[in-house]
Each structure stands twice: as C-alpha cells, then as structure tokens.
Structure 1
Amino acid sequence: MNRELGTAGGRDRPPVRSRRAAGVVGVVAAGALAAAGVAVAAGGANAAAANLVVNPGFEAGALTGWTCSANSGSVVSTPVHSGSYALSATPAGSDDAQCTQSVSVQPNSSYTLSAWVQGSYVYLGASGTGGTDPSTWSSNAAWNQLTTTFTTGASTTSVTVYLHGWYGQGTYHGDDVSLLGPAGTGSSSTPPTTPSSPTTPSTTPTTPPTTPTTPSSSPSSVPPPPPNSGFNHPAYFMPLDNSPQAISAIVNAGEKELNLAFVLDSGGCTPAWGGNASTPVSSDTTVLGDISALRAAGGDAAVSFGGYNGTELGSSCGSASSLAAAYQKVITKYQLKHVDFDYENTALDSNTAVRFGAIKILEQNNPNLVVSLTIPMTTVGFPGSGVDEIKQAVAAGARLDVINIMDFDTGLTSGTEVGQTEAIANDAISQLQSIYGWSTSQAWSHLGLQIMNGHTDQPSELFQESDFSALLGFAKANHPAWFSYWSANRDRVCDPSVPHNWADGTCSSVSQNPWDFTKILVQYTG
C-alpha cells in the first residue's frame, strides 16, 4: 500500500518523553562522610564541594533521607561497596523499586551525580532539574560506579535524585551516592527514622512523566525491553510523520505494543527515520523517548525497515555484512527485541540474497531477536514475489518468526470485506504449509494478520469498526502470531473543515471516536 511518509519540516511533533527520574550520584571527595552526608575539606582557603545527599552511604542503618516505592527498599549489611551498610531494593510486578531523595540546589548551577551500584539494569538519575534531566544505567553483577552531570534551570531550587531497577529483574544494590555542587538555601530531606508517605513526585512506573524531558542522546539511555511483554497486537505507528499522537495517549487507549515505521536509507547505507538526512537514527532522541515511555508502561516496540516509499537500506548497502551492520545500529540504539522488514514497491523480491543474508547475520549476533517479514497480498494469497522472498529466506537460513500479511489494498472483488480478508489469510496459511511443511496450527502461529482501519488505498475497500470486531473473532479462533493494523496515526475522525486524501495518513475517513479501532485491536491476546 502507499503508506505516505510525509515531510519532516514544518510539522508539530510530540514532546520527547524520557523515563521519569529522580537521581542520586556524585564522586565522593576525599574526607570523612557523616551519616548526614556532608563532606568538608580540612583547612585551606577553599572548602571542598559538599555532598548534598542525606545518608549517602546508608550508614544510618536505615533509609533515613530516602523514600522507596511500594516499600521495595531496605538497608542491608551485605553486600556493601564501603562502610557497613548499603541500599537493597527489589522490583516487583509493575514497580521498579525506585528510591528517591529531594535535594535543595541553586539555580543556574552545575552538579555531578554519582553512585556505586550492583545488579541487573540499575538506573541513576535526577528529575526536576529545569533543564535536561540526566539518567544513566548499567547491568553488572559487580559493584560499578555510575556518574552523570546536569545544570539546573533559572528557577530550580530543588531536584529529586533516584535509583531504581527494572521490571522483572532481581534485587539491586546501591551505595555511596553523591551529589556535588552548590548547596541550596533550603534544606534537603531530613526524614523521620521511619519512612513516611512519599512527598516526592509520583513514582508510578506505568505513567509517563508529566513534564516531558529530553533523554540522553546516548544509545544506552533507552531501557531494555521488559521480559514477556507479549507483542500480540502491535499497531503500526509513524512516530515522526502523519501528525503523530503522544505516546501517552496511545498507552491510555490500551496499546503498549507498536511497530514503528519506517527506517530507510538517507544515503551511503545510513539508517534514518523516513530516509531523511535530518532525522538519522544515530542522533535521534524523539523515538528514543517514545520507546522509553512504552517500556516504562510495560510494553515494547519494534522498528520497521522499508515501506512503500523511499530507499530501503537493502537497496543501497552493497553486501550482507554492510547491510547487517546498518540494521544492527538501529537494534543497538533502541535495544530492540523485535524487528520488521517491510519490503515493498521496487524493493519487493529484490536483492534478496543480500537482504536475507543480512537477516541471518543479525540472528546469529542477536539470538533472541524476533524477526517479522511483511508482504503485500493478492486476493488469492501471497503474490509470486512474496513466495520468492520466503523461499529465499529458507535458502539463506534466515529464520522468519512472523510472516506478516498486509491483508488489505487488494480491492474488494466479491462478498464482504471480512469474508475476503479471511479467505486471503486462509490462502496464505496453505502456502506457508506448502513451503515449510508446517501443520495448520504451526502456520497460524507464524502468521501476522495486518488490516487497515477506515478507507484503504483501494476505493472498493472499507474497514468499519464492525469489520475489525468480526476479524478479532477470526483471530481469536485461529491464534495468529499477531493481530495488527495500519495505522495508529489514523485512529481518529477526519476534520471536516480540512481537505483530506481518500486514504489519509492522519485519519480514518469514517465516523468514529478517538482510538475506537485500537481498543478493538488490543483485545487480542494470542
């Protein structure tokens, strides 16, 4: 289908979202640290920078100065980095065991935050800085030091420093937290001996930050995918085009799984969003923030390479190894567990030896990667070019976890929209059984069923909400790998005061309430 990419310039984009923060850190200067966390140099005209964190090494033997979400934190005597005590906190369910402290600071001032940590996916950061809120993390069984810096805004008088783990991971430990810089005129937290109800900002991990902030441009700033995030109903979504909605709005509609479209070549085998030189993956922060917000809500994202327009990377990268390296940059940047290859238009059934050779390399280097191949359909199943692609993948030894059929844009030739969509899917199942030798249930477990909301590119096709509901029942009866649609950008009614295309990229062209189609989609659970 002709899925328009739009233009990058002159377009309103949603604010960048990063994980909520609350941090702690700072390299502890030489000298003694009292339980209150103040270090002062002995003698000399200039005093050493004071550690502004209360109870930075947890040597009070209690969480004095700290508040941990859901009673997830405690003070332990082993393991410790130094002294006699350290923080121990354990994520559980939707809680990531965030421990916070509010610290008084001065406006327009520079600070260094650091901490020693141990465990899987331990995060350190600060929120409410009035500028770019810092966040950094590591995953290490041994003690290691995290350090970051930030500058406060013109009216900032306090920040919240934090440590937290990650969903589904084990206990983490923290010790020797430090925030170095000018002390504020107010007082930092001097809490009671028994932690009381938090007075810091909400730490609910499933809610994106109320004040969106720009995450670090470092590829490591995106959190890893949560374990067992499902990925049964990933709607396609263009994060930089077609008037994208805020990720928080999509999550609030119940959708936490997205196929993000499209990464293309901006020239010289360089991955970029929409193939635009102005939006290279290497320096992206907007999509990075969107993925962080999805994962903070317990969901995940795939990146889709290709689409109908632009230059797919496989058309310009000259070898399987160079193409795999280009794809790997995107996987590494966003810590992807799912990738989608949508070869359409001139890229369909083209340069297949290079493309599937690259996919095989990716699977060897990323053993847990889930790979989907998206193929346009005919009214009788896969076109010859689609069959050729699947057979080339088999010949190259490239595993296809999901063969995603674009079960639309064929034109309605007879019967109903639902009846034809089901017939095309059943034809595809027969073809997959013939190619792979799968049983019917095995073939369904590898099939992705993708439809389109509202008007499609074919004037004879129209998917109403009732069609989505009927096809949801079809999916529940047959258990495809996923039930998806193009696209979340279109899940809203068109503004009647503005001219729109037949199959507009920003609205469905049918009567609906916002997110009606998405709310049907997310009822599919596999």
Structure 2
Amino acid sequence: MARVPHLTSRPARKRALAAAGAAFSVVLATVGVVAATTGAQAAAANLVQNPGFESGALSPWTCSSGSGTIVTSPVHSGADALRGTPAGSDDAQCSQTVSVQPNSAYTLSAWVNGSYVYLGDTGTGTTDGSTWTPGTGGGYSQLTTSFTTGASTTSLTIWVHGWYGQPAYEADDFSLTGPGGGGSPSPSTGPTSSSPTPTPSASPTGGTGGTCSAPAWVSTTAYNGGAVVSYNGHTWTAKWWTQGDIPGNNAQNVWTDDGACSGSGSPSPSSSPSTSPSPSPSSTGGGNGGPHKHVLTGYWQDFVNGATVQRLSDVSSQYDIVAVAFANATGTPGQISFAVDSGLSSSLGGYSDAQFRADIATLHSRGQKVIVSVGGQNGAISVGDSASASNFASSAASIIKSYGFDGIDIDLENGVNATYMGQALHSLASQSGLGSSFVLTMAPQTIDMQSTGMAYFQLALNVKDILTIVNMQYYNSGSMNGCDGNVYSEGTENFLVALACIQLQNGLNPSQVGLGVPASSSAAGGGFVSPSVVNAALDCLASGTNCGSFKPSTTWPGIGGAMTWSTNWDASAGNQIANTVGTHLHSMP
C-alpha cells in the first residue's frame, strides 16, 4: 500500500523514514500497451506543438478557467515553462489535441514540478492513460505513460493538471512519440482528465447481433477488453457489456476482433467493434467475506516495524478478512512468491512455515477468510502484457493452493494496468479452484479512485464480476474532492462519506465499497479518525443517520464495510478497530 504504514513497514524503509518522516511513494499509474520498440519510439518525431513553451505563449494549449501562464523560472530546459495555478474548484488543467494514426503505439512524457501533478491522455480509442507524482516540488521529475490507439482514432487530447486547492505546478518539455497523424488539429477546449464513459450503440460495428448464451466454444472467463476465449484458432475478445450469461460473469455479450458470436453461439465474420463501455453497474460482485453482510478487513504484517508482533492466530476474531502482507516479486515479470519473513520468525522466538499454515486453518475454523496481499511499498510487481499476466495468475494460484488462502488482495504502489491485471485476476479466479468463494480485495489510494478514468478504478470495474471489496485508503492523502464536487480534508467524517460516494455513484456495488482507515495515529502519517467516526460514516452511508455536514442524497444499506492497516497496529492500540468498528459492522442490518 502506498501509505505511511507500509512506508514504515519494512525494516530498511523504516530506517530511511525515521529521519525523513512520513512521505508518499511515487505511483506511476501507467495504462496501455506498448507495441513499438524503444528504438522506434526514440527515433519518432515529437507530435506535441509548442512542447517547451519557447514561443512565449500558450497556444495551441488551452487551460481551464485561465489557470495557465508562461513563466521563465523554474524551467526544465530553455527559457520558458508552463505554470498552472489550481483553485478550490479547478485543477488547472491545460490540454492540447494531437493528430495520430489508428492502431499505433505512443509514449507521452513531460517534466513536471510541484505536488499532485498529473499527466494523461483522453480519446485514445482504447484505454486512456494517466500518471502522477505526489512530490512536494523543489525540482523537476519526468512522468511517462504509454498507450495504443483504437482502430478509428485519428486524434486525441493530451493534458496536464494539478489538484484542487494545491499550490501552482510547472510543466515543461512535453513529448508524444509515435506515428504522426494526417492534419493539424484545432486547439482543445480542455476536457476533464477523467476518461468519458462511452455510450453503447445498438450493436457493435460490424457485429452480427445476437446475445451469447454461454455457447460451447466459450472455454474461459470473458472480461472487458482482452483476448480470453478461442474457437478454431481465432482469438476472441470480450468487448461489449449487455445482458448474457457467460460463465464467471454477469451482464455481457462477447464481441471479437475478428468475429462475433451470434444468437446461436456460432462464430461469424465481423470487423472490429466500437469502443466498449464500462461494465454495467447491475453486475454483481464475486466472492464473499464470510458470514457477515458487512465485513471488517485487516492487514496482518509478516514483518516487524514497531507494531505489536503477532502470530496469525493472534488476530482478533472480529476480522472477517485477514490479508497477509505481503507476497513479493521474483525475477520473472508478473511472477510472485511468498514465505513468512525470517525477521518475524526470529521476533516470535520461532514461527515456522508449518505453524503459519496451521494458523490459517485456525482462522478458517473461526469462519475468517485469509488472503495473500500482493505489493506493498516494496512490491514492485508489474503486469503489463499477456505473458506477465499469465505468470501472475499461475504463481498466485500456486501460492493460494499451497497455503490454503481464500484469495488475493491487490495493493500495488507502482501502478496497475487495468487491462492485463484484469486478465490476470480473471485467470487466477478460474485457476484457484475456489469458485464463488474466491475473495478479491483491493486497497488503492484515494487519488486512484477519484474518477473512472483512473487505472485502479478501471481495474475495479473490469473485475467487478469477481470483486469482493475495494478498501480505499482514506489517509495519507491530504484534501480531496468528494462526490458533490467540494473539497474535504482527511481525518473527518465528511471525507470518508464524500469520497466513498464517488465509488458508489460510479459503478461499484455498495457491497464492494469499504472504508480503509489507519488503526492508530502511529499507523499513518495523516488521516487517523477515532473508531466512533468510522462508525458514524458507515451509518451515514447505510441509513443517512449520524452524518456530518455532508449528507448524500441517497443511502446504500448494503455498504461493504471497513478495513484497517494493520491488525498489528490495532493490537498496539488495544484492538479499538476490531472491538468498536468490527462489532458495529456485524450489528448493522
């Protein structure tokens, strides 16, 4: 997790931060598929007009609400740079429309200076990309994101912006490399950074129509945006979400790159379909978190960092889902491994692999789910293509089967690829052998779930059919936008309610939305709230009672629950989360 509890969790990181204090790790949420070679990209011309602002003017860039100006210091190179100045209701987005070619690979980069600076692209025709830095200024750093264009894409918008109420940022030396387009586009009017949700047409372009009803040739789980089924050597892709009953999914037809399934379930020729919309909000979730309607999730540390050292069996029985932190990357792309940390074993006077496995069985006997968490501050695991997706799924399935885990938690700090990680998770759900009992949780940062244009949010929607709960981290983030467009400060009930509202209004089922909170002020650099505030926020979301000054216009009685980092820090604080929030969750109707 990109949070101070994780940043202070591993011994080496803890020592480094003892002097530096709490800080974010930089998350590069790179989205898309890079199809060109590095050499080809390096040789390509820069498609951005006025990339370094050396003209002394903004054109053809346009900036929201007049927020952009040209400055002579600080610059990355040359004499000039762009400065964007956010306001309380404006993120100072500056954008430009660029001509491109269909079905082509591109890399976008820029040098930025400031806190919460975002770089991205909209209108690619595939998966729009974005990346950001939570740096505090003091020097330029480069942001980069890559993507491929869709079959009919001839222009797209590149953009940069800061964050609401944050200080001004600078940007310089933009670069978009890839095949050049066929014309000079007009200046952009400045679309928002969020990827717009496509509007479905009556049927995909070139399709033969008809609803797939789990025909015999469907051999694996289908998902939104990747090749997952085959028939007589053809590669088929799930592209269109509507009503149907493909195994392992809800609400979709299957349309393909080189064919489509007809009502009879037989493949027939077709051209590429139009852009696919996000999964329907009517889709139901996947695995369950145990016998309770509202669940409490806690991370158990398999390492020592100053919190109470626990055996797995020491975890309070109030926790419905216990996420073992963490599995780690190997030298093979996408592959993960897991073993109990030797430092933990030493601190416990010996804690063998066999004892750990026995403790998993103990928690199972209490009705608790135990899952393995992937990532954390040191977990640089990258799933960015089909090969790494396959490696991830097979290695994770092996770990789950070996230890008897009930599923997996995705806590990646180095960015996610919504398409290929979605492919990997669907494959893992199938390979795990757990069926509908498979548990899939996620722990994105607050910034990752601000809109459906963010890669983590896209991933959650892509795997909605197997997703148990998203426990977003409501801490270490500063002020953020709520669903009403207002800015709220972390560490308040309004912050919890208004940010949860974004997920609840944008496609996730109520049961898939949880409130991730630190167990104590020692467990996070900012955002700690007392357990009573967490309970009040849950009540506000579920029934409209005990709200702060912000009260949503609707309620979500099926709200999923809450999460804490960590069970160890909770034990250090007297198990306040387990005893107060856990008890409250389990008593909610």
Classify the TM-score, shorter chain. 0.3 to 0.5
Larger-gyration structure (1/2) = 1
Q: TM-score, normalised by structure 1?
A: 0.45
Q: TM-score w.r.t. structure 2 length?
A: 0.40
